[in-house]
Amino acid sequence: MKRLLGWATGLWLCASGMALGSPTKAPTQDLTKLPGTQKALGDDPLATLRTTADGLISSLLSDDRMYPRLVQLCDRFGPRLSGSANLERAIDWILAELVRDGLSTAHGEPVMVPRWVRGKEELRLTSPSEQRLELLGLGGSVATPPDGLSGPVVVVQRFEELTVENARDKIVVFAPPFVSYEASVPFRRVGAIRAAEVGARAALLRSLTPQSLGTPHTGVMLYKDGVPKIPFAAIAPEAADQLLRQQRDGQRIEAKLSLHSQTLPPSPSRNIIVEVKGRERPDEVVLFGCHIDSWDVGQGAHDDAGNCVAAWSALRAVQSLRPRRTIRLVMWTNEENGSAGAKAYAAAHGNDKHVIALEADSGVFRPTGFLFSGDDAALAKVHKVAQLLAPLQASMVGMPGGGADLRPLADRGVPVVGLQVAGERYFVYHHSAADTVDKVDPVELKQVAAALAVFVYGASELW
């Protein structure tokens, strides 16, 4: 975990001709000469800042390089699970692209990440009828025996329904109705523990999504020392609801589950770190980030490749403005199944003077504002910065907030925010084969970049 060396404030180079396959020419105008900038330049620093923010928004909303770049990232490297060659190749490419863009401080910092590998998977209902059900093993699940395991099925909608009497030696299906991700995610996190504690042989989860076309959604799950590790997989909501109806109808439900996942030794990955040095307070850091790893299905386009492309476009846009404080972008590795990247960053940089830290990890949709955790003084500053986003209608601030990769910093007292978006469809795609680049709207991608740029630039000036 080497420290950053060789700070350099690069120039904002128009890199459109150099980026691989970028089909459109970038806007090359000097931001200070945009129409919006002209009309309000004066002695009021806030007015100047507002005009600069308007210029940033205008510039990024016309930056047509982002979407082709996101397509390249998704199509060339595929899903980017920790420990995969796909992820490391994607990191190599991003580092090279950042340097091509004139962001010469870009470098990787080594992190050892867990390595869980999905194998062949199959779920068959054998009673009341023969039926193949779609499934996705949950990340970290142990395998079944090589020939699979068979048994009666019991369906529950709440942890309180689980008893040794109804669950011992059974396959437990957790079928909570989807109200919100936050309300349902405990079933995924600790379902295998709770089922094993009452003697279940395996567990299945109704996928955490408000809408489905027979689509299972994966995600991380946990085991607990002293509790047997049982296999755990997600099934489509339609299948879980069917099993629940069958149970209520008094039918005998039996299934056979095969999961051939493996947990291999940890392997090397990297956090990507790139920054623009502050002109007045270079030691004070405005941090923003996203994660470059993804699950192993779909393309991880909304989660979180799109935010990576938006964030690096934002950093490139603010570079030429010579921000007051240092603006640092981190693309964490291993957010999805271990947060090793976040821990490594905090270990290496936890003593840096982070004035504020933002994560964008709620999908790539129209920005609406920020979710914040921190003290009152920081809250007031976040509101001040957020008002610069009025042209995008993205000035709302809620509490609490942050991001998975910001937890170690928040624990050290750094104020944290998460970018909020109009993400009604996020969990329809999230952690599934449906999280593909075609689901990202090119205009919303640019809006996210604009929101990130204004936030970090505004914070670097105003904090």
Binding mask 51-90 for a second copy (x = CB under 8 A): --------------------xx-xxxxxx----xxx--x-
Q: Confirm or reject binding of residue 215 to a second copy (CB under 8 A).
A: yes
262-276 and 325-332 beta bridge pairing: antiparallel
First to last CA, the chain: 29
Least Cβ distance, residue 245 to a second copy (angstroms)? 5
Q: Which of residues 133-162 bind a second copy (CB under 8 A)?
A: 134
Catalytic residue among 88, 109, 134, 335: 335
Measured between alpha carbons, how far is 225 from 240 in angstroms, rounded to an integer? 29
User: In angstroms, what is the minimal distance from the CB of 332 to a second copy?
Assistant: 21
- Residue that has been written with the tokens 């009025």 in this structure: 390
Q: Torsions phi, psi of 189, nearest 5?
A: -65, -50
Alpha-carbon distance 153 to 141, whole Å?
19
User: Is the CB of 142 or the CB of 243 nearer to a second copy?
Assistant: 243
Cβ proximity to a second copy: between 244 and 355 the closer is 244
Catalytic residue list contains 121: no
Element of type H or E holding 396: strand 396-398
Minimum distance, C-beta of residue 89 to a second copy, in the bound complex (Å): 7
Q: Give the nearest distance from C-beta 368 to a second copy in angstroms.
A: 24
**Where are the strands (E) in 247-352, listed by range?**
254-259, 262-276, 281-291, 325-332
Q: Is 129 in the site for a second copy (CB under 8 A)?
A: yes
Interface of this chain with a second copy, residues 287 to 316, rule: CB under 8 A: 296-299
Considering only residues 25, 39, 120, 252, which one is a binding residue for a second copy as defined by CB under 8 A? Answer: 120
Torsion of CA 131, 136, 140, 142, to 10 degrees: 20
Q: Which of positions 345-404 make contact with a second copy (CB under 8 A)? A: none
Site string for a second copy, 221-260 (x = CB under 8 A): ---------------x-x--xx--xx--x-x---------
Instruction: Judge contact between 287 and 354, C-beta under 8 A.
Output: yes
CB of 247 to a second copy, least distance (A): 10
* 76 phi, psi to nearest 5 deg: -85, -30
Residues 6+ apart with CB under 8 A from 355: 284, 285, 286, 325, 415, 459, 463
Please identify every residue annotated as catalytic.
335
Q: Where on the chain is the footprint of a second copy (CB under 8 A)?
A: 21, 71-72, 74-79, 84-86, 89, 118, 120, 122, 125, 128-132, 134, 211-215, 236, 238, 241-242, 245-246, 249, 251, 296-299, 428-429, 432-434, 436-438
